A and B are shown apart, each in its own frame.
Chain A
Amino acid sequence: MSISVNGQSQVPPGFRFHPTEEELLQYYLRKKVSYEKIDLDVIRDVDLNKLEPWDIQEKCKIGTTPQNDWYFFSHKDKKYPTGTRTNRATAAGFWKATGRDKVIYSNGKRIGMRKTLVFYKGRAPHGQKSDWIMHEYRLDDNTTSDTNIVSNVMGDGGQEEGWVVCRIFKKKNHLKTLDSPLGSGEGRRSHSHLFDSCDEGALEQILQQMGRGCKEESSYEGNYNNNSNSNSNSNNSMNYGRLVSGSDPSMVHALEVGSGGGGLTNWAALDRLVASQLNGQTEASRQLACFNDPTIGYCTTDHDLQLPTLRSSSTPSSTSAHARLHAPPASYINPTQDFTSEIDLWNFTRSTSSLLASSEPLCHVSNTSV
């Protein structure tokens, strides 16, 4: 596919279609669902059931410049007339949702959601996972219906029906393969690449997933949304990455085993996850260990740098961590299996990340040398 720009047959050299999530939703998808004309036919319609990822890659080329990701509109249909699930099977495999949907904000206002899917070759439940990833963006129901009252003939199936805009890309194995279009400081970026896009809500999400079996999700929905909203740009984000994808592979394994067997309600596994990470960290974690040990007060630590950093920090989470220091430490110890401890643990991990954030410049000085 090539598009025409001012008589030229393709996108000018150096320019790439690199939309923000907000542009995808607010400009492209909103126009699509309200049948407005889009200036250039940049994003094509794709029948997800008919095209394999590698075919989409071919069909959704923009110009001739090398691409790392490909965009298309897709119309979601119900898998079964009576059900609400979406059919995402192709001839060669199927797309399977993973994780939890991410809220997309525009100017602080929620506009839509992003779902992450993985392509499996073969047939469920025996598919073989591929490196193809899809981000599927949908507008919030209320916002679409507001703007589409005039022309809307969309189905009433809510989020499981209607137009979505999708981006597919191949998962990189933590190495920059293509020449990064973002360009700046490749050396450093590839080093910290692992943490680049870590969601602020990472641990919350894990907590929620693990707790799904026995808890009503709505009971802490507010916490999660609030959190991802206010902190999405803070520098804490990478620390969840360290916590989640830290150097200890056995940790993740423990989480898998624990959660797999117990229907995602195994809190002991999560405790081990947190504990192993805390013990594994230097400096900050030694300090954190004091939280776990009631016999050592916080004041016994003499890392003169971290406390002032913490105090001087103005991020909301750091402030809350600071406040936590003066709270009875009991709530941090031994989270048990009931609901209240879940919240405590949640707070605990937040505090943890704040402390790690404070010590980050110390631990990773070497990262910044480009």
Chain B
Amino acid sequence: MGDNNNVNLPPGFRFYPTDEELVVHFLQRKANLLPCHPDVIPDLELYPYDPWELHGRALAEGKQWYYYSRRTQNRVTSNGHWMPMGMEEPVITSSSNKRVGMKKYYVFHVGEAPDAGNTTNWIMQEYRLLDSASSSRSSRRRSQPKPDHSKWVICRVYERDNDDDDDDGDGTELSCLDEVFLSLDDLDEISLPN
């Protein structure tokens, strides 16, 4: 646990879940006490790990760390606390446009709350399921006790770089240069070497 070595995939496969996958596959299954395959995301409960202590404990992929935790009002760590950034977004399924969860942003502060002077670049996205009251899903499972949707969250932590705009080396996007060349191509007679 703590890395995805137990998933035996060829080179090039990486844990890049969509928000929907995090909520529907990992969070809902966890809340419903169903097994997750692969079981790659460790449960760190409410251990007070500082973000820089996550490596080796949480699932690491690139510069991001994933772990299960519990909902809490004050996410306090050994050396600081996570402050809500006041941003919350719904997580929506791509197939049916249904709202399945919420995603909330936190920033890590070193020191005691509410000292705002020691903001760091560490960001957390906390995924939670919708509260049971608003979840139409739970009503379908009458025979089972209602899962405690309010309990579990998935945390995705990463360090925001001030100058990180170089990490898109995968080339899945056109560079600005390519864009320029594309527009140059409209003039056609510019025949670039094939």
Contact = CB atoms under 8 A, between A and B. Distances in A.
Contact of B166 (A38, A172, A234, A260): A234
B182 A129 contact: yes
Given A235-B165, A238-B165, A259 B184 contact: yes
Interface string A115-140: 01010000001000100010100000
Interface in A315-370: 360-361, 368, 370
B7 interface: yes
A185 B158 contact: yes
A252 B180 contact: yes
Contacts, number: 212
B53 interface: no
Interface residues of A, number: 86
B165 to A, nearest CB: 5
Dominant SS among interface residues on chain B: loop
Given A185-B123, A185-B160, A256-B187, A197 B12 contact: no
A27 B21 contact: no
A12 interface: yes
B52 interface: no
Contacts of B165: 192, 195-196, 235, 237-238
Interface residues of B, number: 63
Contacts of B25: 13-14
B145 interface: no
Interface stretch (B110-118, B130-138, B171-179): B171-179
B83 to A, nearest CB: 13
A317 to B, nearest CB: 14
The 7 A-B pairs at the shortest CB distance, nearest first, are namely A19-B12, A181-B16, A14-B17, A235-B163, A260-B187, A99-B181, A202-B177
Interface of B: 4, 7-22, 25-26, 37-38, 40, 63-64, 85, 87, 94, 105, 123, 125, 156, 158, 160, 162-163, 165-166, 168-190, 192-194
7 contacts: A16-B13, A20-B170, A68-B172, A116-B181, A179-B19, A240-B177, A259-B184
